[in-house]
Structure formats: C-alpha cells, structure tokens
Amino acid sequence: LNDNPSHYKVTLSGIVKSPKINFDPPFLMLMPVPLDVKTETTINIIPQDFLRKSQIQVELPELELEDGDRIYPFSVQFPEGKNIVISSDGTNKELICHISFRSSRPVSFLGNMFFIDKEAN
C-alpha cells in the first residue's frame, strides 16, 4: 500500500440460516379415552441452526365447549428441560416433550400447538 494507489476489492458471501425446529413424529394423534382419564405421548423436538442458547415455550390451545365453557385439557412437560443447547460440535441437542390430555367433559379437537423460542420464532 505505502503510497501505491492500487485499490483492492474484497467480496464476501455467506448463507443465513434461520433457526427452526422439527418434530418426531411430525403430527400427534391421541387415542380416545373415558372422561377424566389422562392420555399422553412423547415427542422429540429437533432444533436446527440455533447459534445461541434459547428456550422453548408452548402455547396450548383453549377449547370452547358446546355450552360456551372454555377448558385447557392439554399439558406439556419437558423432563430434561426446555433449553436449546449447542453441543461442542455445533449441533443442537434434541428435547423430549411429554404431551397429555385430560377432560371431564366430552370433547374432540383438531388444531395446533405452537412451540416458540424466546424471540417468538
């Protein structure tokens, strides 16, 4: 460089990867059970491309019954925690999630549960 008028051009390129989560199994079907009996299953949550620690939150559906009452028959538990952790090789550790359903009133439901990170993704 030293008084040399040459110009240098540097070009940078990259790929932006957005964090995402996948589920195994990809959808959930709980078996019908008698009233006030719990049914449950386990799913694996597979985080991908998270570059920093995050935590999963779950938005559970509220169900409206025929008489207008509202209930929350679903519950979730994360026996090993809800934190998305980055391992030493840069991958994210899978999370285990137990989903259960119990209702003292007759109800059927087809809908979504939302799993979000702390940035509402």
Residue 1: which pLDDT band, with cuts at 50, 70 and 90?
A: low
Does residue 121 lie within any of the structural domains?
Answer: no
On whether residue 58 sits in a domain, the answer given is yes
Confidence bin at 119 (pLDDT 50/70/90): confident
For residues 99, 102, 107, 108, the Cα torsion angle rounded to the nearest 10 degrees is: 20
From the list 69, 74, 114, 77, the residue with the least C-alpha distance to 95 is 77
* Domain contains 96: yes
Residue 92 structural domain: 20-116
Burial class (CB in 10 A: 0-12, 13-18, 19+), 25: exposed
CATH number at residue 43: 2.60.40
Number of domains in the chain: 1
Q: Does the residue 5 lie in any domain?
A: no
The reply to whether 13 falls in a domain is no
In a domain, 2, yes or no: no
- Inside any domain, residue 1: no
Res. 65 pLDDT band, cuts 50 70 90: confident
pLDDT at 2: 65
Tell me if 43 is assigned to some domain: yes
